[in-house]
Amino acid sequence: MHKIILAALMTAAIPAVANAGASHPRSLLAMSPAAFAQATTLNDDRLESHATLSTEKAHREGWKLLKPYGHDNHLRAIVDKRTGATTYEVRQSLRYWGLQRDYTDAHYVGPDGLQKVALSEARHGADVCPTTENNLECPLSKTIAFQVDEATMRQIAASDGQSWDFKLKDQTGHDIRTGIVPAEAAGLLQAVDGYRSRITAS
């Protein structure tokens, strides 16, 4: 009888674990869209046709000195200064221990359901570790990015406090599931909308 009850409890718990959202620091969850908008940086070179807005400095989790694993992400928008057309990116910094990983795709849910997109960037860090040649395990870092459309970004911003999760798929099986808080997407959109209204008026 005890075995039956235990099995039932384990079965009931599996969906909850499988569907659990990404966890975030309290300091990040406490930030409002206005705080993210104010902290969004703008790189607007008059000799370039595009301007870049980024939430990178709005909140940084950073790396703990003795912790070999960690990740941090932020959002970036690239605005065409002539047309206002905007490309949005999710950018992920990753630190881990082991052999070099091969991330190729991102999975997320947008307005049209589950999406699988190729990464727009998957760059190894400048790590002093010959993992490719000697098959050694050591601390490594990686920068990953993928694009989302504006409809998806606005869907994230409109979420009712729920983390917008995505999964980074690794060919060696080391997938990463993490997420973006709605306030960050909403803050970036506020900054982008404000910038686009300024260049339209000029």
pLDDT tens for the chain, 202 residues long, are 444 333 333 333 333 333 445 778 787 888 999 999 999 999 999 999 999 999 999 987 655 544 556 678 999 999 999 999 999 999 999 888 888 889 999 999 999 999 999 999 999 887 767 555 556 677 888 999 999 999 999 999 998 878 999 999 998 899 999 999 999 999 999 999 999 999 988 7
**Contact yes or no for 182/157 (Cβ under 8 A):** yes
Q: Which residues fall within 8 angstroms of residue 106, CB to CB, at 6 or more apart?
A: 90, 116, 117, 119, 144, 146, 166, 167, 168, 169
- Cα–Cα distances in Å, from 108 out to 3, 84, 146? 37, 26, 11
- Report pTM: 0.81
